[in-house]
Amino acid sequence: MSFVEYGYTIKDGDTAIVFLGHESMFPVKVQHGTVTQTKYGVIRHSTDLIGKKYGSKVTCSKGGWVFILHPTPELWTMNLPHRTQILYSTDISIITMMLELKPGSIVCESGTGSGSLSHALIRTVAPTGHLYTVEFHQQRAEKAREEFKEHGVEHLVTVTNQDVCKNGFGVSNVADAVFLDIPSPWEAIGHAKSALKAEGGRICSFSPCIEQVQRTCLAMEEYGFTEINTLEILLRVYNVRTISLQIPDLGKAAEDNSSTGSDSSNPSNPQQGAVQFKSGVPLREMVGHTGYLTFATKS
């Protein structure tokens, strides 16, 4: 099993996603002789999972059923264990596009955190690219290494435990892009410039506060970055559902009126009934501000 290569059958040691329903799923490490409890009953890994195809419908001990899905960066973002606040697909999608990433790209990232963005970056630059990710917290760095190994992507990523603001990324003049998600990104702009390739590399900084953005933009200008721009991504979700509307009374058709001539003594009867149709209805509550994304180019 690998997050960057699809496998058809579930094997011992794989990480799989147990799908119980919309917005109800969780990851599980498949192990021979292990069982997993769900609200529909027990899943026995040896008989119910190992050897089955990904996407299979598995019946639990109480008669309910679940689907077993192959892991992807998108599913992992929704189910990973949170060690820090994470980035979600709304921001991840624009980051990978604006940094102009592709297979073979070299990317530097700080900090690793829970690895949500890291998995998406690895999948984007595979099979010949590489991710250099720096995490200040030692335990989080060690846990990230373990997860990358379990997920079959350790050959595509190098995890370093150090302070990027003081020690940089550990590489020079090789990166096509740099991503910063740290409390004081302006202190790492110089190291980011050193890590980027000689010309044309892209940088992105994620910050929740506009004051952080202001200081980061000033630092980018100081170090000669160009095309500096900041944006904010807001996601508005619509539910597609059936709604019912009353049919309005529009009076008789024009041809009916013409047949009666100028006689208007008989008013038309209102048309009764309602019509049902599918419509997109926005949610009453919407996820608001997550953070600001500041992009720039090394000139």
- What's 49's DSSP letter? I
Residue 256 assigned as binding residue? no
Show the tokens assigned to 120.
């998406």
Give the count of beta carbons closer than 10 Å to the beta carbon of residue 142. 13
Asked whether 204 and 179 are in contact (CB, 8 A), the reply is yes
Query: CA-CA distance, 231 to 63, in Å (whole number)?
Result: 49
CA distances from 79 to 72, 82, 119, 151, 192 (A): 11, 9, 13, 14, 31
The H-or-E segment that residue 222 falls in is helix 210-222
Residue 114 assigned as binding residue? yes
Residues 6+ apart with CB under 8 A from 24: none
Query: CA-CA distance, 202 to 178, in Å (whole number)?
Result: 6
- Radius of gyration over alpha carbons of the chain, in Å? 27
Query: CA-CA distance, 16 to 64, in Å (whole number)?
Result: 19
Residue 116 assigned as binding residue? yes
Residue 227 assigned as binding residue? no
Show the tokens assigned to 73.
């960066």
Overall residue count recorded for the chain in this entry: 299
Residue 48 assigned as binding residue? no
CA triple 164-166-172, angle to 5 deg: 65
Dihedral pair phi/psi, residue 195, rounded to 5°: -75, -30
Residue 163 assigned as binding residue? yes
| Positions at the binding site | 114-117, 135, 163, 181
Sequence ranges of the binding site for S-adenosyl-L-methionine: 114-117, 135, 163, 181
